[in-house]
Amino acid sequence: MSHLNLRSKRTWLALILIAIIATTLISAFAWTAGWIGKRQTTESLVMEAVQPFPAGFRRAHGKGICYVGNFRPNKDIMSLSTARVFSQPNIPIVGRFSIGTGDPHAVDSSTKTISMALLLTTDDKQQWRMAMNNVPYFPTHNPEGFLAMRQATAPNPETGKPDPERVARFLQEYPEAEKFLKMTATAAPPDSFANSTFHSVNAFLLVSADGQKQPIRWMMRPHEAQLSLAETKQQHTTDNFLFDDLRHTLEEQPLMWDLVLQLAQPNDPINDPSQPWPQDRQQIIAGTLQVTSVVDQAKGACRDINFDPSIVPAGIEVSDDPILSARSGAYSHSFNRREREIGYGKATDAVGKQEVK
């Protein structure tokens, strides 16, 4: 009997039951997708600082430059990790230097945050992607705290400054952020990429051949000779002084950074990027990064790379640092948006085309 007997109570009860099952599944799906409910999602981490946002640019750290070079590992690290990056003698790399401003056309003095991103591909096709900042640690222990900080420190439209009461309320909930806010307020603005140190911020694990896991953080530490490079340059008044300086320096010499691993002790927190480990923890140089030349980001290989720091090769594992997971989600949204604009031909100056007005 394949027809509905609408006079039967049984039919109605069955239809109601089916509707409840379908609605429950649809609601659960909509909630998971962030369409209903007040759940905070990785989409809310992505902010577009200018409206309309220029097509094809990264949503954060949009102003940057691509670079190429190589990485030569220190083979002693092979006892700590089986990753091929520590045994292949010379690894070609692509990367990107950027400034931490939302507007891709911002002036270089608009932020104190500068970044180095990097993709190492070894001959076994494993990839290691890094996204490092000149800031050594993260403001909060979790992504909810980061969102709360962004709200609390947003300038009040009337005064143009953050509301001190809101900042105080935020610090009550996330006291760990105080040292970050103090540090960024007092830090000297960077005067060169060449003399800056870039930090992984998040913790990772090195996995050795016998399965031992060593938690680490790392930094890219500039070679001694580069520390004085910026001092000889002109006053930092031009809009692109950081990138101009980098370009000019690389015309004369390659730039080098040591990859310095900081090894955690058993009780050091590996799931809290707001807590730097003590300075006296053992540090080892795991290799040397050599940057040989830069290419405009509209044309360089780095343009279409998502420097998602959760992408690590076999022999290195991500820790359960919650910021790592949140960064991966936010970077993915930013990547999808800009690749969509580039792929559908909507991007202009992001891909080096003249803007049509």
Partner 1 sequence: MKTQENTPMTTNTHFNLTARCLHWLMAVMILAMLFIGVGMMTSLHYRLWLINLHRPLGIAILLLVIVRLINRLRNPPPSLPANLPQWQVLAAKGSHILLYVLMLALPLIGWAMLSAAGYPIVLFKGFNLPAIVPTSPILYAWLRDAHSLLAWLLFVVVIGHLSAALVHALIYRDGVFSSMAKGSKHHQ
The secondary structure of residue 237, as a DSSP letter, is: T
Contact between 32 and partner 1 per CB under 8 A: yes
How many whole angstroms separate alpha carbon 329 and alpha carbon 241?
Answer: 32
Contact between 38 and partner 1 per CB under 8 A: no
Please name the residue ranges forming H helices in 253-294. Answer: none
Q: Is 144 exposed, middle or buried (0-12, 13-18, 19+ CB in 10 A)?
A: middle
Residue among 65, 149, 250, 326 that touches partner 1 (CB under 8 A) = 326
Q: Which residue, among 117, 288, 90, has the nearest Cα to 193 in the 3D structure?
A: 117
Residue among 343, 352, 353, 355 that touches partner 1 (CB under 8 A) = 343
Contact (Cβ atoms closer than 8 angstroms) between residue 295 and residue 246: no
| Residue with token string 């070079």 | 69
Instruction: Choose the stretch contacting partner 1; rule: CB under 8 A; options: 59-67, 101-109, 238-246, 338-346.
Output: 338-346
* Six token digits for residue 312: 């690590």
Contact (Cβ atoms closer than 8 angstroms) between residue 64 and residue 32: no
Contact between 246 and partner 1 per CB under 8 A: no
Q: How many residues form the binding site for partner 1 (CB under 8 A)?
A: 54
Instruction: Choose the stretch contacting partner 1; rule: CB under 8 A; options: 40-48, 101-109, 220-228, 257-265.
Output: 40-48
Q: How far is the CB of 206 from partner 1 (least distance, A)?
A: 14
Q: At what angle do helices 143-152 and 322-343 cross, to 10 degrees?
A: 70
Residue among 11, 27, 265, 292 that touches partner 1 (CB under 8 A) = 11
Choice between 113 and 142, CB closer to partner 1: 142
Q: At what angle do helices 143-152 and 164-173 cross, to 10 degrees?
A: 170
**Which residues pair with residue 207 across a beta bridge?**
213
The pair phi, psi for residue 249, each rounded to 5°, is -60, -45
Contact (Cβ atoms closer than 8 angstroms) between residue 116 and residue 193: yes
Residue 210: how many other CB atoms lie within 10 Å: 7
Contact between 29 and partner 1 per CB under 8 A: yes
Q: How far is the CB of 273 from partner 1 (least distance, A)?
A: 14
Q: How far is the CB of 40 from partner 1 (least distance, A)?
A: 6
Instruction: Choose the stretch contacting partner 1; rule: CB under 8 A; options: 133-141, 179-187, 194-202, 300-308.
Output: 300-308
Q: How far is the CB of 320 from partner 1 (least distance, A)?
A: 9
Cα angle 278, 84, 75; round to 5: 60
Choice between 42 and 275, CB closer to partner 1: 42
Contact between 125 and partner 1 per CB under 8 A: yes
| Residue with token string 């003249």 | 354
Contact between 40 and partner 1 per CB under 8 A: yes
Which parts of this chain interact with partner 1 (CB under 8 A)? 1-4, 10-11, 14-15, 17-18, 21-22, 25-26, 28-29, 32-34, 39-43, 45, 125-127, 142-144, 304-306, 310-311, 314, 317-318, 322, 324-326, 328-329, 332-333, 335-336, 339-340, 342-344
